[in-house]
Amino acid sequence: MSIHEVFMPALSSTMTEGKIVSWVKSPGDKVEKGETVVVVESDKADMDVETFYEGFLAHIIVEAGETAPVGSAIAFIAETEAEIEQAKSQANSGGAAATPTSSPEPVAATASVATPALASQNGSNHKEGRLVASPRARKLAKELKVDLTTLQGSGPHGRIVAEDVEALSNKGKQPAPAPVAPAAPVPTSAPVAPPAPRTPAPAPVVAAVPGQTVPLTTFQNAVVRNMVATISVPVFRVGYTITTDGLDKLYKQIKSKGVTMTALLAKAVAVTLQKHPLLNASYSEQGIVYHSDINISVAVAMDDGGLITPVLQNADTVDIYSLSRTWKSLVERARTKQLQPQEYNSGTFTLSNLGMFGVDKFDAILPPGQGSILAIGASRPQVVATPDGLFGVRQQMQVNITSDHRIIYGAHAAAFLQDLAKLIETNPQSLTL
């Protein structure tokens, strides 16, 4: 039989169900092996799902906006046009169940992150060294000798598809440069790049209505599972007050160069972790896992619900200017759900900063798989006693660390906070070296 089921893939280790964002192909459309047919929202990001089969999209079981469990059938692909009606009949007769079978067949799809194609000065969708194009588009471009970097894709999130390559080849000339994207922050209610015909719009924020029950989003459900998983971990908390006059002065000096306070704090924490590898470690049943890299996760609230922690990888060795540029890119793509898996699941230590809301202090919940999380409050002017017996005004912030007590003890956390305070208070300029 040459009718194949397309299954809902597991796009992350914590994903139990997926939501169909949009179907790139319509029933009856020709599909190539490795071509994107659907965009799926996992518990972390929106991803392209590519088919293993060549043929025709015969029937869609799960429509856009609907949810299905991992491993359940979401569509049929027929190898020939003659079998399309047969596939429809099979679906209508209940041939494909909406729940996974006890021994499901291999998932008939592969996933790749649909990185948004931001307009640049040369009009390409080349983003941080990565060109987003379907396998068929790449093959066709090679045959027709078309430079993919000159194309602006019409597929989901700016992805270059075969039709884009064919259109350029038929015209026999390069397309005009695309307009430069505005530098202002892009709200989640608008697409990141100029809208393409098949680019799905971000999910709208559901307004709270008294008396109404609003279902949790995929992201919110993921947060629920992670928070419940932390209940079994024995944790403790240690607080510390840090004077930030020197850090604030440094920030004012280099803010115009694109440096963010988040990057400065992440850099300070990462440099301090070099002296305290246990605080960068995590627990496993086999023992203490000492990580080779210092990757700082930073909590970011999603505008349409949920929480994600983009990761500043190797934050101890990356210079502050590159770190700030990376952070801005991570936040932009996090809020459009376009992060690659390693950009949100490779953290070894987490920061949660509510200082911008005027919060004095708070306790953070330890993320699964990590040993510590640092909660950062607002920096405020405080009247303090100076070493010479007088009174003075100092900018101070309160930080609270939550740690896994199975591997980290109070003295370890206190020593880390003491060194972090020493760095911020006496030598913040070293963060720019």
Structure tokens at 296: 């700082």
Q: Measuring CA to CA, how many Å separate 390 from each of 245, 288, 387?
A: 18, 47, 7
- Clarify whether 405 is annotated catalytic: yes
CB 144 within 8 A of CB 220: no
Give the ranges where 48-134 is alpha helix by DSSP (H). 84-92
Place of tokens 């990580």: 291
3-class secondary-structure state, position 38: strand
Q: Would strands 30-31 and 55-60 be described as parallel, antiparallel, or unpaired?
A: antiparallel
214 φ, ψ to 5°? -100, 120
Residue from 59, 157, 276, 405 carrying the catalytic annotation: 405
CB 271 within 8 A of CB 320: no
User: For residue 225, what is the enclosing H or E element?
Assistant: helix 218-229
CA–CA separation, 115 vs 377, rounded Å?
Answer: 33
Per-residue buried b or exposed e for 69-105, using 16+ beta carbons within 10 Å of the residue's own CB: ebbbbbbbbbbeeebbebbeebbeeeebeeeeeeeee
CB 267 within 8 A of CB 246: no
CB 42 within 8 A of CB 15: yes
Cα-trace Rg, the chain:
25
**Catalytic residue set:** 405
